Structure formats: C-alpha cells, structure tokens
Structure 1
Amino acid sequence: MHRIPTLDIRRFDSDRTAFVAEIGAAYREWGFCGISHHGIPTATIDAAYQAFKAFFALPDEVKRRYHLPGTGGARGYTPFGIETAKDSKFPDLKEFWHVGREIPRDSKYADVMPANVWPEEIDGFRKAALDLYNALDGLGSRVLSALALHIGLAEDYFADKTDFGNSILRPIHYPPITAPDIPNVRAGAHEDINLITLLVGASSAGLEVRSTQGEWVPFTADGDTIVVNIGDMLQRLTNHVYPSTTHRVTNPPGDAARQPRYSTPFFLHPNPDFMIETLPSCISADNPNRYPQPISSHEYLLERLREIKLI
C-alpha cells in the first residue's frame, strides 16, 4: 500500500526547488502530507493539551455554560451529538472548543469574527491556546508559500489574503467507547471547509485518508510530525489541482476503544471578504474551470456550516 509522505520543512529554506516539487506532488496525489521539523516547541503543544484536557474533564453543566447556541459553534464549547458529517445519519462522537483569531473589536471583520470566550475554571487556558494558535498560523503560512510556488504564484501570494483569516483552533475530545454496537464513528467521512488544516498531536491511531483508488489508508504521524491537508476552499481556488481528500476518524479495535482520544486541528481560513475565484494558472484545456462563479470565503463557510448542522 502507498504511504502518505512526510517532508522536512527545513528544506524549504535549504533545498527550496526540490522541496516545493515534492510537497506539490504529495498534495496533488493525496491532498495530505506530514510536516516534520516544524519548529513548534513541544512545550507549547504540551501546555495546550494539558489545558484542553483539563477543560474537557470539567462537569457537563460547567462546560455547557460556554455553549453559545445560534452561533454555529464559532467560539466556545460545542457539546456531544451536534456536528454531523455531510450526508451522515448519525452525529460524530465528540465534543470540542473553538478558539478564533484575536482581532480589535473595531475591525471591519468584527461582525463575522466574534470575540473569543475563555473558561474561567482553567488557569492558563487562554495563553496556552493562543500560543498554539499563533504557532500553527505561522507554520500554515509557510506551507501555503510552498504550495503557491508550486502552482506558479508568488511566494507571498496568500500573505495578505490570510492575515485576518477566520481561522479556528479546535481542541477535540473523543470519549472512550463503551457500548459494543455504536453505529457512528468518532468522526464520519468528510472533507474540510477551509484552505488547509494542520493537525497537531493526535494522541492515538484512527485517522484514515481515502486514496484516489478508494482505499482507506491509515495515517498516524510519527513523533513531532504535524499532518497538513487541503480543504475545500483551496481545492476550489486551484480548480482541484490540490484535492480536498475525504478522511475520517475510526473507532479503534479492542481495548484502545476504551481510551479517550484528543486531537487539535487548526483550520486555516482566508480573510472573510476574500473572493474564491479559480486561479487562471489552474485552468487548462484538460482542466476547464469548474467554478465560473466566484464566492466570498465567508458565504462559502456559512453554506458549508449549514450542511454539517452547526448552523
């Protein structure tokens, strides 16, 4: 079976041409790639996970104080049994928290990017979450620079299109599975909405990626590797040159199912008013424009959140 590659991002500085070719090829084939030697300190990741686990361990009624109905879960807490993969009959087996970008409240984006909510019960939660948010935002920008170069754009093409991106850090808790006949999986087969997703420190196996041949390929990252995958917005922008690949989180067999699973994806979004319009360099006779009608990233996000029952 083919394996999804893992690449050392230090080579973006030391061996740029080869690195850009390899990362571009990886994403064209898989829509997924592991990124190693990313420079995010282990202490930053560990502090964040410690804070997130402490929050999820709080009593249900305390956590629910941070649930903001009617907001699509944009900030704060989303309880079990709400998010449902598109076309799935069953909700996912997870609860999660959303941290967004800290922006001035007089920003032109303030109406669509609400202020963050912070749990008073957990000391250091805000700092730990924002430190990880900012580290992943920086790493995501480097990955986007390499992807831009691969398709003939300027290295800084995405810089002014994501500097106020409506990006989300989502700590997730998948609880232990105790019933033998649960019909739903921890996260049903889905694609991500955003430009790229960075997944840090998935604490156990379970992530599977569907290959172009239709096989489910397990992808458990080694050590310090961060898994980065293409979302639907980048697929649309690049006219499917970079595919947004279907993936899921399965329930592990045997005793492993009785362990909780924690993971923290960072969904990197463009600025809310960015128009997703097919890049001319990604249109050809063999690949005609699939999306002649542009759409703003905010409108696109709302469309998709309705599909997965978050709004």
Structure 2
Amino acid sequence: MVDQSLPTIDYRSVHAPQAIAHSLQDSGFAILSHSPIDHPLIERTYRDWLAFFLSEDKVQYRFDPKVQAGYFPLQTETAKGYTTPDLKEFFHIYEGHSLPQGMSQATWDLFNQLRHLATELLEWIEAQAPPHIHANFTEPLDAMIADSKETLFRLLHYPPLPDTIPPGAVRAAAHEDINLITLLPAATGMGLELLDSEGQWQSVTCDRGDIVVNVGDMLQLASQGFYRSTTHRVVNPDGPARHQSRLSMPLFLHPRPEVVLAEGKTARQYLQERLQEIGLV
C-alpha cells in the first residue's frame, strides 16, 4: 500500500466541475470538501445507526430478498471472485421503505441532501465528457437517476475484529461498485483503499465532513470507459482500531431500471447480473 493522497477539491471553487471530472477519469475517485451536506446531520445519522447495530432488535428487520431492503446480518455478502464473506453487517434503505422503529428523520434528510448533490455532480460529469462520449449517453446522466426507486442508501457497520479471523476475511474484499456514482460521507475510521493504475493499493484519506465520490460500473459502461470504475476495499485495521466499530454510509446512485446503459443492456439487466455474482439474489 502506498501513501499518495488524492487531491481534495473544494466544492465552492469555480474549477470544481473540471477538477471532479478529471479526478474521476484519472483514478475513479474524488474527494469533495466544503460540500452543501450538513455535517451535524452526518454525525447524527452515524449515532442513530451505531445504536441500531449495537441493539438486539436489529434481527427483527432482516432483509426481504425480493426487494433487498432491510437488515443484512454479519457475513452475508461475499465480493465477486471471493469465497470468504466480508466482516460487515448492513442495512439497505430505498425510497418508500420504512426505517427501523424509533429512528430519527436524520437518515432521510441525509439521503435527500446526498441525492441532490449527486444530481449536480452528474451534470458536471456529463458536461466535462468529450463530445463523442456525451453523444452516446441515451439520456442526460442526471435524468437517469430522476425518480429512480433503485438508488440505495447502505448503512454499514464493521464490528470490532474478533481475536480469531477466518483466513482471508477482511472488512470489505476488493470490488467495484455497480451503480453510476457513489457518494460516501467520510467514514468513522480508516481502512478504505483504492487500486491505482500501477496496481498499487492507495489509502483514501479525507477529513470528517468531506464527501468521497467514486465511479461505478454503470457509468464506466455508459461512458465507454472514459470514467473509470476503480477496484477498492476496506482493510482490517491494526492496533487499537481493531477493537473499535467502523461505520460508513454510501449512497449508490442507480438509474431507473429501464434506462439503457449501452447497446442491449438496461440498468435492470446489469443490476441483476451483479447481484447474483455477489450472492444477494
């Protein structure tokens, strides 16, 4: 693993659209500072979900395989190409589905703020694409996610590591995201790494309050590879951090199911293929 920090891009800068697009094309990732996302809202949401994951009531909300909403117990998901499940548990939220009883409005408020920011970022990403790439989008990128019920807010809990870990088990094995773009408020702990173009693992470091943005496979497909979907992982920590929970909450921006990403491939078809690969359907 190399220590080569990604540039942090100030949302308020007049050059932010170009800088975001360049970073996503170059590495598949970008770090956004001074975004319009309310920082206290992020912290409130983290507190709410830590309490949920530490409660015994969470098992009452086990996910429905038909709709993929609800609570996924520890070691439910296995990354594509791996046989050992990840050391994580999580809760899936889609628009129109209920939160656990007693959860505050903070989660939905954050969901909506992130989705609004994502719409703006997709406008930037499309505007910065070369004309021949732009011309192949079947509709504007921001329109692809408009009114989509597929956009997923995933609340993740990586529990303290046990004394004995199954061989090869990590918090999140190397994978790529399925969707168009992902917006990730800075997690509560380190561990996120990306695989750079030279085959080296690079730590993704950012400040609390920053937003990490990354390209998913659907955008890579729709942009003919102009924007890179980069392999990333969450590694097991050393030292005292091994005994601490880590939480993260990515918003995965998905197109409406009927959106054509590339010739002969709709968002619905692509999503089902990928969910089968990671064992969630």
TM-score, normalised to structure 2's length? 0.92
Shift in CA distance, 274/47, structure 1 to aligned 2, threshold 3 Å: same
Please state how far the C-alpha of 1:3 moved relative to its aligned partner. Answer: 2.7
Residue equivalent to 1:117: 98
> Aligned runs of 1:259-298 on 2, under 5 Å?
259-277=244-262, 293-298=263-268
**Displacement after TM superposition at 1:181 (Å):** 4.2
How far apart are residue 178 of structure 1 and its match? 2.2
Q: Give 2:112's aligned residue.
A: 134
Q: 2:73 aligns with which of 63, 74, 79?
A: 79
TM-superposed CA distance for 1:160, in Å, is 2.3
Amino acid at match of 1:162: I
How far off its partner does 1:207 sit?
Answer: 0.2
Q: 1:69 to 1:40 in 2, by over 3 A?
A: closer
Question: Higher Cα Rg: structure 1 or 2?
Answer: 1
Task: Confirm or deny that 1:3 pairs with 2:9.
Answer: no
Matches within 5 A, 1:93-108: 93-102=87-96
Q: CA deviation at 1:6?
A: 1.4
Q: What displacement does 1:82 show?
A: 1.1
Partner SS for 1:171? strand
- Which of the numbers 63, 85, 95 marks the counterpart of 1:91? 85
Who is 2:126 aligned against?
Answer: 148
1:24: which partner in 2? 21
What is the total number of aligned residue pairs between the two structures?
A: 271
Deviation larger for 163-172 or 2-11: 2-11
Alpha-carbon distance between aligned partners in 2 of 1:65 and 1:180, rounded to the nearest angstrom = 28
1:162 equivalent in structure 2: 145
For 1:208 and 1:36, how far apart are their aligned partners in 2?
Answer: 19
Q: How far 1:22 moved relative to its partner?
A: 2.1
CA RMSD of aligned residues (A): 1.7
- TM-superposed CA distance for 1:81, in Å, is 1.4
Which structure 1 segments of 5+ residues have no match? 103-115, 278-292
Post-superposition shift, 1:228? 0.4
Q: Is the 8 A contact 1:44 1:128 kept in 2?
A: yes
Q: Report which stretch shifted further, 185-194 or 266-275.
A: 266-275
How far has the Cα of 1:149 moved from its partner? 0.7
Query: Offset at 1:299?
Result: 1.4
Counterpart CA distance in 1 for 2:110 and 2:17 is: 25
**Corresponding residue number in structure 1 for 2:205:** 220
2:59 to 59, 64, 67: 64
- Report deviation, 1:123: 4.1
Determine helix, strand or coil for the equivalent of 2:163: coil
Measured against aligned partners, the alpha-carbon deviations of 1:121-145 in whole angstroms (never above 9, x if no partner) come to x342xx1111011011011111111
Q: TM-score, normalised to structure 1's length?
A: 0.83
Distance in 2 separating the partners of 1:168 and 1:84: 18
Determine the structure 1 residue equivalent to 2:160.
Answer: 176
2:248 aligned with 1:253, yes or no?
Answer: no
CA deviation after TM superposition for structure 1 residue 86, in Å: 0.3
| Residue pair 1:99, 1:129 contacting (<8 A) in 2 also | no
Any idea what the Cα deviations from partners look like across 1:151-193, whole Å, max 9, x if unmatched?
1449x92232211221111110000002244420000000000
CA distance in 2, matches of 1:84, 1:248: 12
Distance 1:308 1:204 in 2: 25
Aligned twin of 2:177: 192
- Larger relative contact order (C-alpha < 8 A, sep ≥ 6)? 2
CA distance in 1, matches of 2:18, 2:39: 29
Q: CA deviation at 1:65?
A: 1.7
1:235 and 2:220 matched: yes
The corresponding residue for 1:105 is none
Deviations 1:183-239 (A, max 9, x none): 200000000000001111301110000000000000121132110000000000001
